[in-house]
Structure 1
Amino acid sequence: MSLKSLLIQLSTGLVALTLAATVSAQTAKPQVVLLATGGTIAGAGASAANSATYQAAKVPVDKLIAGVPELSAVAQVRGEQVFQIASESFTNEHLLTLGKRVAALAKQADVDGIVITHGTDTLEETAYFLTLTVRTDKPIVVVGSMRPSTALSADGTLNLLNAVTTAADKSSRGKGVLVVMNDEIHTGRDVSKSINIRTEAFKSPWGPLGMVVEGKTYWFRAPAKRHTTESEFDIEQIGALPQVDIVYGSGNASDTAYRAFAAKGAKAIVHAGTGNGSVSGQVVPALRELRAQGLQIVRSARVVGGGFVLRNAEQPDDQYDWVVAHDLNPQKARILTMVALAKGADSKTLQRIFMAY
């Protein structure tokens, strides 16, 4: 063999080894699927000074991924555009479509984690719905932003990197659906949007589960309520969600809204009461009447989290056959009530479910 032939063979072999090493390194990285639904994280403003005035749901998923090249160092990320809407326009049908897609992906061997980009207005509702209905121990992370990508000090890129970091981390498995915002990791069960302007908008009444700092997750507690693999609900068994509506309690309240929702087909009404889920005297007769007609009545509280509605306090729930939402806010109480009623829960079962989830 000539020296030239030998050099060619050695060169060819070296290229093959390099390619093999590259492929091996790539396949060794966690594989994360990014499901995009729109929202501010995909929004754009007229100028860099617009942080609160912008159009949501403008940037497609491929551009979201391309806009954060650091993702490639964390995981192999591929994207799907599920919806392209502002989250206040999410419907029950959107929840079901998204939930079924998440469940299908979670079953795939080539998926290690799932990240969902979402508008912040109803992000907490979607996160809780997935917490209840998707049976997997793989990390599911919901993420959004408070500023569009075009704004000065936009928060979406770091939020997205932190979300993928969390989804790719094996330590995130088994903790249920997570929400990653502003460097914090929250459980989808507890977290709520409590501020509508600043980047630290998402809070959990019992505190975050952990943090993401410079590409590493740090954990401080675990979820205490039932979720995902321990849930009695299954997205694959839910064909439709019943109508459940929320009525806001206040001074000088009347029964008009409660009766109107019932007339329009509501199967349950969540009362967002003052204080300890209080119900005004002029509303109690209507709620008792609607319960006698078969509607479930759920007492929740409109106050900021950090407490819970106590059963048989303020109202004789046992006597009226009403349900209390425990520490869930009205919007999350609506989600849980829908999921439970879709499985045929009666009032006693519904109360058990509120205490467990």
Structure 2
Amino acid sequence: MIKTCNPRWLLALFCLVTAMAAAQAQTAKLPNVMVLATGGTIAGTGATSTTTVGYTAATVGVDQLIKAVPELSKIANVKGEQVFQIASESMTNEHWLALGKRVNALLAQNDVDGIVITHGTDTMEETGYFLDLVVKSRKPVILVGAMRPSTALSADGPINLYNAVAIAGSPDAIGKGVMLALNDQIHSARDVTKTNTSTPDSFKTPELGLMGYIQGGKPFFYRVSTRKHTADTEFDIASLSALPQVDIVYGYANMNPVALDAFVAAGAKGIIHAGVGDGSLAARVKPALIAARKKGTIIVRSSRVGQGILARNGEANDDELDFVAADTLNPQKARILLMLALTKTNNTREIQRMFYTY
């Protein structure tokens, strides 16, 4: 005798199968975002919930960072990978090369639509600009961090991470270069800088302005950089195992050439002179800069001011001295571009072209 099926049971089974199919379809439509963790304050912990300074950076792993923001599953298929676990003041050229190569390898995969990199804020702008010059893809790469550790009452890491994933998975972010996402704002890696030691609104793009905002899990763009970046650059790190030594000499009243001479003696291939004002050269230091250039060291005049164009042939006759002007790049970013430039050429005219291009 054949028993008849319970209609209610059949209906329940049908609803379950339909719901599972709908869930799978929804998951398939979500962008695939890879989170590469490098440490920093966003992965930091403090002694108490009110500890916002004096905490320990780089203690929380990537899986825990992702798990702390369950809302991520609604906007992207997120996977994590722990690349480094360091405070960003300890970031090195070797870290940059390894990170850049890993980013390029992942972006070459069809199942990766964008990348988020969690990073300490101290050198985030530098890592961002390095990647902006060496990433060989138009897919979004977003750096994100926090000004307060994960254990703080007012931790900004979770919402920053959520916003970064939202940008990385957005078609609107494609082709806009490497970006930073903090404090509900989107900044170009080339132009942004850290401006405050501890407040959540530390990252700003003076004068040139931020790129846009994140609101309701959606990026809104209002400005893009006109400088070439990512897939349009001439730099390729695929075969590089090291970067040329480039050091920064800071300008100040009563400056002397001791640091400059030490860097040159230690083998510096390039020097960024972070001069006062429009990159002025102190009378006591100028002869040492000229001597260094004659020995083959590339000299780039930058400024400690932080805003404005460094005028070529302004405070120094760059044509005569065979120096390079940093354009709008601050000293720490000028160092990055010069290192990469020196992997291609020692010609100062070519290097100056690069500074006006990137």
Letter in 1 for 2:76: A
1:149 equivalent to 2:150? Answer yes
Equivalent in the alignment of 1:85: 86
- Give 1:287 shift: 0.7
Equivalent in the alignment of 1:293: 295
Contact 1:268–1:296 (CA<8 Å) still a contact in 2? yes
Letter in 2 for 1:281: A
Which range moves more in the overlay, 228-237 or 36-45?
Answer: 228-237
Q: 2: distance between equivalents of 1:49 and 1:6?
A: 58
Equivalent in the alignment of 2:221: 219
Q: 1: distance between equivalents of 2:142 and 2:51?
A: 27
Q: For each residue in 1:90-131, what CA deviation from the matched residue of structure 2 results, as whole angstroms up to 9, or x when unmatched?
A: 000000000000000101100111000000000000000000
Q: For each residue in 1:282-306, what CA deviation from the matched residue of structure 2 results, as whole angstroms up to 9, or x when unmatched?
A: 111111111011000000000122x
Equivalent in the alignment of 2:355: 354
Structure 1 pair 345/237, CA: closer, same or farther in 2 (3 Å)? Answer: farther
Q: 2: distance between equivalents of 1:8 and 1:156?
A: 46
Q: For each residue in 1:37-83, what CA deviation from the matched residue of structure 2 results, as whole angstroms up to 9, or x when unmatched?
A: 00000000101111112000010000000111111111111100000
Q: 2: distance between equivalents of 1:130 and 1:331?
A: 14
SS in 1 for 2:238: helix
Match of 1:266 among 249, 265, 268: 268
Equivalent in the alignment of 1:283: 285
| % identical aligned pairs | 52
- Give 1:8 shift: 6.6
Q: 2: distance between equivalents of 1:6 and 1:158?
A: 46
- Give 1:23 shift: 1.5
Contact 2:248–2:335 (CA<8 Å) still a contact in 1? yes
TM-score normalised by the chain length of structure 1: 0.97
Equivalent in the alignment of 1:165: 166
- Give 1:351 shift: 0.3
Equivalent in the alignment of 2:119: 118
- Give 1:216 shift: 1.6
> Over the residues paired in the alignment, what is the CA RMSD in angstroms?
1.4
Query: 1:296-307 counterparts in 2 under 5 A?
Result: 296-305=298-307, 307=308
SS in 1 for 2:227: coil
Q: 2: distance between equivalents of 1:331 and 1:189?
A: 11
Contact 1:103–1:235 (CA<8 Å) still a contact in 2? no
Which range moves more in the overlay, 121-130 or 24-33?
Answer: 24-33
Q: 2: distance between equivalents of 1:238 and 1:225?
A: 24
- Give 1:151 shift: 1.1
Query: 1:328-347 counterparts in 2 under 5 A?
Result: 328-347=329-348
- Give 1:213 shift: 1.3
Letter in 2 for 1:246: I
Q: 2: distance between equivalents of 1:52 and 1:201?
A: 14
1:109 equivalent to 2:110? Answer yes
- Give 1:15 shift: 3.8
Contact 2:298–2:346 (CA<8 Å) still a contact in 1? no
Q: 1: distance between equivalents of 2:71 and 2:14?
A: 31
Equivalent in the alignment of 1:43: 44
Q: 1: distance between equivalents of 2:171 and 2:346?
A: 35
Q: For each residue in 1:248-294, what CA deviation from the matched residue of structure 2 results, as whole angstroms up to 9, or x when unmatched?
A: 01111111111101111110000000000111011111111110110
- Give 1:215 shift: 1.2
Q: 2: distance between equivalents of 1:52 and 1:150?
A: 11
Equivalent in the alignment of 1:98: 99
Q: For each residue in 1:311-331, what CA deviation from the matched residue of structure 2 results, as whole angstroms up to 9, or x when unmatched?
A: 001111000000010110000
Q: 2: distance between equivalents of 1:8 and 1:216?
A: 41
SS in 1 for 2:338: helix
Match of 1:239 among 236, 241, 263: 241
Structure 1 residues not aligned, in runs of 5+: none
Equivalent in the alignment of 1:28: 29
- Give 1:173 shift: 0.3
SS in 1 for 2:78: strand
- Give 1:12 shift: 5.1
TM-score normalised by the chain length of structure 2: 0.96
Letter in 2 for 1:55: T
The alignment of Structure 1 onto Structure 2 pairs a total of residues equal to 356
Contact 1:240–1:342 (CA<8 Å) still a contact in 2? no
Q: 1: distance between equivalents of 2:345 and 2:327?
A: 20
Letter in 2 for 1:316: N
Q: 1: distance between equivalents of 2:21 and 2:335?
A: 52
SS in 1 for 2:290: helix
- Give 1:18 shift: 3.0
